[in-house]
Structure 1
Amino acid sequence: MDTRKLIGDTFAEHFVEEWIAGWNEHDLEKILSHYTEDFSVDTPLAMKRLPETKGFIKGKDKIRAYWGKALENNPNLHFRLINICCGINCLAIYYESVSIQKQVVENLFFNNEMKVEKAIMMYSK
């Protein structure tokens, strides 16, 4: 069965609107509702803050703890959308993380149920 699917503009816009709202509202459960139970993230921030992870965290419970601490430590965290790029089973969210004054590209890979199973983050210099 072919599970490759082009992410459409309507889905992408709705998804990103909810995703950014969750982060800007600091609503961890709203954020996590978009992800599978065993999703993974690759992020240079985890490599910096939790060197033992080597930048890779897997599983909703571990990521909940990591993101929860990030939200707690960054009460001014706010994202501003720059653009969205759609691909096959994936989309990239290009945004500015206002609190750390960095631009970010977050690549999200979706399963058949349109839940994120993998996220890869990249930050500007």
Structure 2
Amino acid sequence: MLSRAFAEEFANDWLSAWNDRDLDRILSHYADDVIFHSPRIALVTGNDATTVRGKKALQTYWTEALAKGPNLFFALDDILVSSDAITILYTNHREQNVAETFIFNEDGEISLAIAAYR
């Protein structure tokens, strides 16, 4: 069971890493075999992909995304906690409401992440 304290610490570090554009720190939260779903993947890559599999592929994707988003910034709105998942609600630099849900493995790393946009 994930605690509220863990969720808050995670969310603050995750958002700070993004706002600092620190890709190594961002990736430190993810398992090597992570699966990431987002409708933004297709927009960044220019194809119809909606899923990235594996930390190495995620690094490649986010390197491209960060290069295309020099004004990237996330402002925390709320944190929701479940037994093995956290959903972070935030507003991005495009004034979009975003929900990212993270399911953690037994090592405390993100094994599945799903981003949804308003």
Provide the C-alpha distance between the structure 2 equivalents of 1:47 and 1:27, rounded to a whole number of angstroms.
Answer: 23
Partner of residue 106, structure 1: 100
Considering only aligned residues, what root-mean-square deviation do their CA atoms show, in Å?
1.0
Partner of residue 42, structure 1: 37
Partner of residue 81, structure 2: 86
TM-score, structure 2 length as denominator? 0.95
Provide the C-alpha distance between the structure 2 equivalents of 1:72 and 1:37, rounded to a whole number of angstroms.
Answer: 23
Structure number with larger C-alpha Rg: 1
Structure 1 runs (4+) greater than 6 angstroms displaced:
none
Matched, 1:65 2:71: no
Matched, 1:21 2:8: no
Deviation string 1:33-85 (CA, Å, 9 cap, x unpaired) is: 000011011101113333342x0110111110111111111111000000000
- Partner SS, residue 122 of structure 1: strand
TM-score, structure 1 length as denominator? 0.90
Letter in 2 for 1:35: Y
Provide the C-alpha distance between the structure 2 equivalents of 1:57 and 1:45, rounded to a whole number of angstroms.
Answer: 11
| Matched-pair identity in % | 32
Provide the C-alpha distance between the structure 2 equivalents of 1:15 and 1:80, rounded to a whole number of angstroms.
Answer: 14
Provide the C-alpha distance between the structure 1 equivalents of 2:58 and 2:48, rounded to a whole number of angstroms.
Answer: 14
